[in-house]
Structure formats: structure tokens, C-alpha cells
Amino acid sequence: TSTTRVSSARWLAGQIAVDSLTLAWMLHHAGGMTNPFGSFFAFNAVIASIVLPLQLARGVVFALTSGVVLLTVLEASGALPPLCIQAARGFCVQPDALHLFAAGLSAAALTYGSSRFVLALVSSLALERERLRRSNVAVREEREKLSLIIEQMADVVVFADTHGVIRLHNRAALSLWPQGAPASQQLRVCHTHAAWQR
């Protein structure tokens, strides 16, 4: 039902939010936005773009991108300095503000850009799926009309494939078989052996 679908979409959005907050916490404790895993925010944005309804996906992507930018500004400004990474010699290596800012904005751009690309693909796929659905409905309606026309014709209509297998016959065609519709679906049952040979 639509209620279940909405509930499921909200649950997925919540899961993506929890995953993103966990990622932000881990990055902050491992060198901040200079950590190469900062690009993992893009994975969350792409997943949101694929599994969530369009409006909710856009909101989640905007929140993710805003969160990355906010964390970047807080870390680069020194308001919330990232915990440093221990160097091989055992001393703390604190990233500089410019490096933090550049890495954070790169992660934000990657997050937003990749999700926009995927959203465009998903939207295009949804339009194509709707066009295909409408085409299938139109074909089904035309097939039903044609079946009704053939069924109501006074003339006998029998359609057989190249192997002589009857694929379609109308009500008037039942006159070919005095005992009713043939048990066999072979066209040759309509004719004597000599007629079929001719």
C-alpha cells in the first residue's frame, strides 16, 4: 500500500541519515574532511537518489550536502577542530585549514554532483517506464477491440501460423466443425485429407 511505501521510504531516509552521521563522526575523529573517506558521503547520496521517491531523495541529498559543508566550515574555521592523525613517528599531525576547506568542498561537490547525475537517470528511467506502461495499455485496448470485431463478424475467420497451428478463430468458424471446436489445434482438421493435400 502507499502508506507502507511512505513508511518504508522514511525508514530508509532515516537509515541514510544515521549512516551519514556515523560517517561524519568517524571522519571527524580520523583527521576530518582531509580523510580520503570523506568521498563516501557520495555513496549515501547516490543510494538515496536510487531508492527514495524523487522529492524525498532531493531533500536527503540537500541535507547531506549541507551537512558536509557545515562540517567542513566548522573544522576549517577551528570551531570544531578535527582530531588529528598520529604520524608514523608518534606525533600528532593537524591538517591545515585550507586543506580541510578544499577537501570538504570537494566532498560536498562530489556528493551533490553524483546524486544529481543519478537523479537525472532515475527520472529519465521513470519517464520511460511510464511511456512503456501507457503503450502497453494502448496495445491491450487495441487488441481487445480487434478481438471483439473478429468475434462479431459473420464471416469465418481462422488464423493459423506457418506450421498450420490454429492461433485464433471466431464464433462463425465453429460451423467448420459440426461437433464444436476441434480437439486438435491443427488447421488440417478443417479439411479432408485430399483437400489438405491440394
Taking the C-alpha atoms of residue 53 and residue 6, their distance in angstroms, rounded to an integer, is: 9
DSSP track, 19-37: HHHHHHHHHHTTTGGGSGG
Cβ atoms within 10 Å, residue 74: 18
C-alpha dihedral over 126, 129, 135, 138, to 10 degrees? -80
Q: What integer pLDDT is reported at residue 138 of this predicted model?
A: 95
Our CA dihedral for 9, 62, 125, 47, rounded to 10 degrees, sits at: -60
Torsion angle of the four alpha carbons 21, 23, 28, 29, in this order, in degrees rounded to the nearest 10: 120
Residue 16 scores a pLDDT above 80: yes
The pLDDT of residue 150 is 87
Q: Is 57 helix (H, G, I), strand (E, B) or coil?
A: helix
* Segment holding 159, helix H or strand E: strand 158-160
C-alpha cell, 107 = 566532498
| Mean pLDDT, the chain, integer | 86
Of 46-50, 87-91, 128-132, the least confident: 87-91
SS3 (DSSP) at 165: strand
Span between the terminal Cα atoms of the chain, in Å: 61
What is the arithmetic mean of pLDDT over 169-181? 76
pLDDT higher than 90, residue 95: no
pTM (predicted TM-score):
0.67
Percentage of residues in the chain with pLDDT exceeding 90?
52
With 90 as the cut, is the pLDDT of residue 41 above it? Answer: yes
Across residues 34-61, what is the average pLDDT? 92
- Per-residue pLDDT, averaged over 101-126, amounts to 94
